[in-house]
């Protein structure tokens, strides 16, 4: 069971920065923090839940984020194109439905 010790946000930020520089194990040992706790903070920092400030990402992290952004933008464009196609199809079907409804009324059925 954990000790329930609370760490302030500034301590977490500095711990994450240190871990990026010297590694999780060394930083945890130096700070007297459980390695799992530091790992959790590292995950939160990657997810953007802990703001470590600008310029604290490694080149690999920056590249990964850029690739994720590029993939997300590509997906958005694909979805927008599909949405336009579906809107056009829906409009066509509405017009066809109105046409057949009108012709049915004219024939008296």
* pLDDT value of position 26: 92
Return per-residue pLDDT of the chain as tens, 109 residues.
455 678 888 899 889 888 888 989 999 999 999 999 999 999 888 887 887 776 656 677 777 878 889 999 999 999 999 999 999 999 999 999 999 998 888 876 5
In angstroms, rounded to a whole number, what is the distance separating the alpha carbons of residues 91 and 94? 5
């Amino acid at each position: 069971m954990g000790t329930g010790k609370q760490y302030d946000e500034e301590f977490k930020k500095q711990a994450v920065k240190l871990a990026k520089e010297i590694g999780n194990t060394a930083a945890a040992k130096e700070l007297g923090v459980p390695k799992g706790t530091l790992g959790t903070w590292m995950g939160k920092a990657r997810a953007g839940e802990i703001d470590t400030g600008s310029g604290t990402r490694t080149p690999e992290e920056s590249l990964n984020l850029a690739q994720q952004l590029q993939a997300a933008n590509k997906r958005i464009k694909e979805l927008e194109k599909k949405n336009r196609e579906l809107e056009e199809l829906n409009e066509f079907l509405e017009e066809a439905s109105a046409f057949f409804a009108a012709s049915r009324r004219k024939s008296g059925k």
